[in-house]
């Protein structure tokens, strides 16, 4: 059983704990201390084969689909209830392996995850076909034609470390609602929360073998993607990894959903309430220490208020408290790992070398117990061509860019490989090539609203009805009702 004190964990296959076939384990590091906090079974290709076989059997014998849609909806609602009941334990787990502030876990991630299961519980009865008008070669013989919605089968779900509960939820909930079985590969940095979620799903009534969770390093993810009996892959993570997944999935023509990186623009016009705009921008870029694909890390500000806004944002950034996630006073926790810590510091150095003006932060915080802490950092006078304005940093670094007018704002906003007066806002919303556009707010999400990106930010959508469709196939049935079937011979 997974708890906030767990120091060793195995794989979750067929409703039970199993060691990895190799016997190997890997270390989970607490980013607030840099020390090992748990050792977890390291799934390999043999474990993927075993888990896929179990999931395939569970799909074939219809142990999940045979449960009535209303009862499956009740089970998903029970998962939501149990997530809320286990909120303290889940928050402690997430803070321990991810480093996020405990208040972020308690008041944002956990409620959103529970709401997601509630929403998809309401969609269990929604996959419906339709009766079609039908004609053959211009005539209207006595035929009936209709479509049916069917689950795609075994889904391979690969999730990132930045939101250890919410990201698995965004995939597991619609997959369950569609009737799929699944093998989940959580990020090696944050496996414990995903394992706890599997336990919760089992307790709620999801049958054995429907959800299987394989913590592991790269081998498990690669084996899952190329497995010939996994027709669906859903991945959230880096754009480059997404490219490799598409290539590996191509030989089997798998259905693939990708939610990838971003470099989102946060556009502030001169007539904005600057105090409120600064608060929204602060939340948009420093939420979860900037480790968010839709972080508003490019802050575009109209020139008449540019200097005033930069001073305001820098002042607010300097007041943010950085500390361990276990401290309820912390606004920002550490970044996830030593590798990420060094990467973010490298980008800060690049920003300085490129000539951007450092107005807040810019340094590591070494006096906080050996963890991976970095000051909230704000660069001003950033050119759109600078590296810090073009590449996803995935850390607490903001790049503030001036613009002259609406035309230039749209041009700068769209100048990326990634995608992101009310009349003016709506005009710009149409012009900005981004999967989500927030107006007068930032980082607000709901399970009812589809989420995803344009261009190299991904394929398909998480959340909303579109997420359910990603796990369904459409079957067309055509029935000849004529006394003498039509034939050419």
Q: What does residue 90 show for φ and ψ, rounded to 5 degrees?
A: -65, -40
Given a contact cutoff of 8 angstroms between Cβ atoms, the answer to whether 185 and 157 are in contact is yes
Beta-bridge partners for 331: none
Choosing from 109, 116, 293, 469, the catalytic residue is 293
SS3 percent helix, strand, coil of the chain, rounded to 5, is 40, 20, 40
Q: Where are the beta strands (DSSP E) in 215-365?
A: 232-236, 255-259, 265-268, 298-302, 357-360
Look up residue 243 and give its two tokens.
């490219």
Q: Is 259 an annotated catalytic residue?
A: yes
DSSP for 320-356, please give it. PPB--TTSTT-SB---S-HHHHHHHHHHHHHHHHHT-
Choosing from 109, 259, 375, 392, the catalytic residue is 259
Beta-bridge partners for 374: 364
Q: Is 293 an annotated catalytic residue?
A: yes
Beta-bridge partners for 146: 131, 477
Q: What does residue 8 show for φ and ψ, rounded to 5 degrees?
A: -140, 140
User: What is d(CA 106, CA 88) in angstroms, rounded to the nearest whole number?
Assistant: 7
Given a contact cutoff of 8 angstroms between Cβ atoms, the answer to whether 337 and 31 are in contact is yes
User: What is d(CA 252, CA 254) in angstroms, rounded to the nearest whole number?
Assistant: 5
Residues with a catalytic annotation lie at 259, 293
């Amino acid at each position: 059983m997974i708890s906030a004190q767990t120091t060793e964990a195995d794989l979750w296959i067929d409703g039970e704990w199993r060691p990895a076939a190799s016997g190997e384990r890997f270390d989970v590091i607490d980013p607030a201390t840099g020390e090992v906090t748990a050792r977890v079974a390291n799934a390999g290709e043999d474990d993927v084969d075993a888990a896929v076989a179990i999931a395939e059997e569970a799909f074939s014998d219809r142990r999940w689909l045979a449960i009535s849609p209303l009862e499956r909806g009740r089970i998903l609602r029970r998962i939501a209830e149990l997530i809320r009941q286990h909120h303290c334990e889940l928050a402690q787990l997430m803070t321990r392996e991810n480093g996020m502030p405990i208040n972020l876990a308690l008041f944002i991630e956990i409620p959103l995850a529970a709401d997601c299961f509630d929403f998809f519980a309401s969609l269990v009865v929604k996959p419906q076909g339709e009766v079609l008008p039908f004609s053959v070669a211009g005539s209207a013989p006595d035929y009936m034609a209709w479509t049916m919605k069917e689950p795609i089968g075994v889904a391979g779900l690969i999730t990132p470390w930045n939101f250890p509960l919410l990201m698995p939820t965004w995939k597991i909930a619609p997959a369950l609602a569609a009737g799929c079985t699944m093998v989940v590969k959580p990020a090696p940095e944050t496996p414990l929360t995903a394992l706890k979620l599997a336990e919760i799903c089992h307790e709620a009534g999801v049958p054995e073998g429907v959800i299987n969770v394989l913590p592991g390093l790269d081998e498990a993810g690669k084996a899952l993607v190329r497995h010939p009996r996994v027709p669906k892959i859903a991945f959230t993570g880096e754009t480059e990894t997404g490219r490799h997944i598409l290539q590996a999935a191509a030989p089997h023509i798998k259905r693939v959903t990708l939610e990838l990186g971003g470099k989102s623009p946060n556009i502030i016009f001169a007539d904005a309430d600057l105090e409120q705009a600064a608060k929204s921008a602060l939340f948009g870029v420093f939420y979860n220490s900037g480790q968010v694909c839709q972080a508003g890390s490019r802050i575009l500000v109209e020139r008449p208020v540019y200097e005033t806004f930069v001073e305001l944002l820098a002042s607010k950034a300097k007041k943010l408290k950085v500390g361990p996630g276990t401290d309820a006073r912390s606004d920002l926790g550490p970044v996830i790992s030593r590798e990420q810590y060094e990467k973010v510091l490298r980008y800060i150095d690049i920003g300085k070398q490129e000539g951007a003006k450092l107005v807040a932060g810019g340094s590591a915080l070494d006096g906080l117990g050996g963890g991976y802490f970095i000051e909230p950092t704000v660069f001003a006078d950033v050119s759109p061509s600078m590296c810090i304005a073009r590449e996803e940093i995935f850390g607490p670094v903001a790049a503030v860019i001036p613009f002259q007018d609406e035309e230039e704002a749209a041009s700068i906003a769209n100048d990326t490989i990634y995608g992101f007066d009310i009349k003016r806002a709506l005009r710009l919303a149409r012009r900005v090539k981004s999967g989500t556009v927030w107006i007068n707010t930032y980082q607000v999400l709901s399970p009812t609203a589809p989420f995803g990106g344009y261009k190299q930010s991904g394929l398909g959508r998480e959340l909303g009805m579109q997420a359910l469709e990603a796990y369904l196939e459409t079957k067309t049935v055509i029935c000849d009702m004529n006394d003498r079937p039509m034939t050419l011979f």
